[in-house]
């Protein structure tokens, strides 16, 4: 069964450093998402992406965050200058069209020290 893949599975970074999290959505999917989950808390929406542009973003997704689809398969989340509170599991997700089932990747665990 096709799946969303994410890399790296775990990254430790120093505060202030830039981080890029990578995702390969399911190949025929058109809608892409990033969510995050701080340890022990619920999953929170960050951003949705469709037709090569951001379609919606939450208040969490401030200027230090950016997303990109650099080629036909990858979808990336960049955190420009990491803070301690950015430590979380980051999930990439995709779906064929709005309203359909969303499929999540296995997550990238980011630890900022």
Binding site for other proteins (CB under 8 A): 31, 33, 35, 37, 41-45, 48, 50, 55-56, 58, 89, 91, 98-104, 106-107, 109
Nearer to other proteins, 66 or 109 (CB): 109
How far, rounded to the nearest angstrom, does the alpha carbon of residue 44 sit from its chain's CA centroid?
11
Closer CB to other proteins, 37 or 76, in the complex = 37
Nearer to other proteins, 40 or 70 (CB): 40
Q: Cβ(31)–Cβ(49) under 8 Å?
A: yes
Q: How far is the CB of 38 from other proteins (least distance, A)?
A: 12
Q: Minimum Å distance from CB 69 to other proteins? A: 16
Give the up-direction half-sphere exposure of residue 37: CA atoms within 13 A in the CB hemisphere.
14
């Amino acid at each position: 069964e096709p799946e969303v893949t994410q890399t790296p599975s775990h990254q430790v970074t120093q505060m202030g450093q830039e981080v890029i999290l990578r995702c390969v959505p399911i190949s025929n999917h058109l809608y892409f998402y990033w969510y995050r989950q701080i340890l022990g808390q619920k999953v929170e929406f960050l951003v949705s992406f469709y037709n090569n542009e951001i379609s919606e973003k939450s208040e969490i997704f401030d200027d230090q965050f950016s997303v990109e689809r650099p080629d036909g398969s990858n979808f990336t989340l960049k955190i420009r200058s990491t803070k301690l509170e950015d430590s979380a599991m980051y999930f990439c997700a995709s779906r064929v069209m709005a309203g359909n089932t969303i499929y999540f990747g296995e997550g990238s665990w980011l630890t900022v020290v």
